[in-house]
Amino acid sequence: MSDPIKIIEETRLSLLPPEGRIKTTLELNDGCKLYLSDCIDLMDMMIKDGSKVDLTVTSPPYDNLRSYENASTWNFDVFKKIADRLYEVTSDGGIVVWVVGDATINGSETGTSFRQALYFMERGFKLHDTMIYEKNSSSFPARRDGNRYTQIFEYMFVFFKGKKIRCANLLCDKENKWKGWVNWGKNTEYKPDGTLVETKDIKPVPDFSPRNNIWKYTTGFNKCKGIHPAVFPYKLAEDHIKTWSVEGDVVFDPFLGSGTTGIAAVRNNRMFVGCEIAENYFNDAVMCIQDEIERKKEGQGQSS
């Protein structure tokens, strides 16, 4: 039987303007704002205020894989409300990095990640890249007598809003085997009309080239050791922030969790907006991000 007091409270809250439904607002140094709130309410307030973000790096709940302290309901209808609002708060050319995986139920992967990607596109986003987050290990490795290989990756869908992506600083850390070499024999190139001609404009192979779109990380390595059960690696957040934004941009994480995206944003001189609905996770994230701000301040003091 439903709790009538809880129903009355939820009804009362639903009648409040979005800013009235936000439980806690913290403005830290370094342009960092953290909210204890349902991200739908926060984005409603941002839309009302005309606030925009340049980059979202986040990982939503995956199907029913974790309960997250029963702090909220998660289903496809809730996802659509979030995707709708993400479109509204994203600046023109801005990016959303959506890190997601699927549960396996009754012998079948749910395919929820694909449904979400297609809805983002239906909403108006363009799918810029379907990237892969490859883990170095799995909690459930395949058995010799099993029928399924070890699941060791998650999707990193990269969407952008508008006609043109506003920022792309590709990470060039893939070492080239033939670095420093130039072509042997005659140096040739094709002209636009298809004619093959000799040329002297041949540069040696560079030491490093842009990495591929499969990024491998060590799971469990994080700047903040909190209580959150599903933490993605710090480097994953940082690499996306470095790639899809510049210093001074506003980075957003509507599912703040342990605060990984916020820590990476602060460390790389981005402004940050973070939102978390579960109070225990929120408190953990606040401490971790505040610690990073203090470390950064101490480092600046020592270098001055």
What residue segments make up the domains of the chain, in order of their start?
A: 4-170+213-303, 172-209
The proportion of the chain whose per-residue pLDDT surpasses 90, expressed as a percent, equals: 64
pLDDT for 247 beyond 90: yes
Comparing 127-136, 179-188, 238-247, 273-282, the range with the smallest average pLDDT is 179-188
What token pair was written down for 261? 């995206």
Cα–Cα distance for residue pair 90/250, rounded to 1 Å: 10
pLDDT band at 299 (very low <50, low <70, confident <90, very high): confident
Domain 4-170+213-303's class? alpha beta
Cα separations in angstroms, 52 against 42, 88, 255 = 12, 8, 17
State residue 183's pLDDT score.
67
What span, in angstroms and rounded, lies between the C-alpha atoms of 49 and 87?
15
Burial annotation 243-268 (CB, 10 A radius, 16+ → b, else e): bbbeeebbbbbbbbbbbbbbbbbbbb
Reported as a single tens digit per residue, the pLDDT across 70-79 is 556 889 999 9
Q: Place 1 in a pLDDT band, splitting at 50, 70 and 90.
A: very low
Each residue of 99-110: pLDDT tens digit? 999 988 899 999
Q: Report how far apart, in Å, the C-alpha atoms of 163 and of each of 123, 127, 150 are.
A: 14, 12, 39
This prediction has a pTM of: 0.85
Q: What is the pLDDT of residue 8?
A: 35
Looking at residue 180, what DSSP letter applies? T
Can you give the pLDDT at residue 15? 43
pLDDT at 159 over 80: yes
Residue 48 three-state SS: helix
- Place 17 in a pLDDT band, splitting at 50, 70 and 90: low
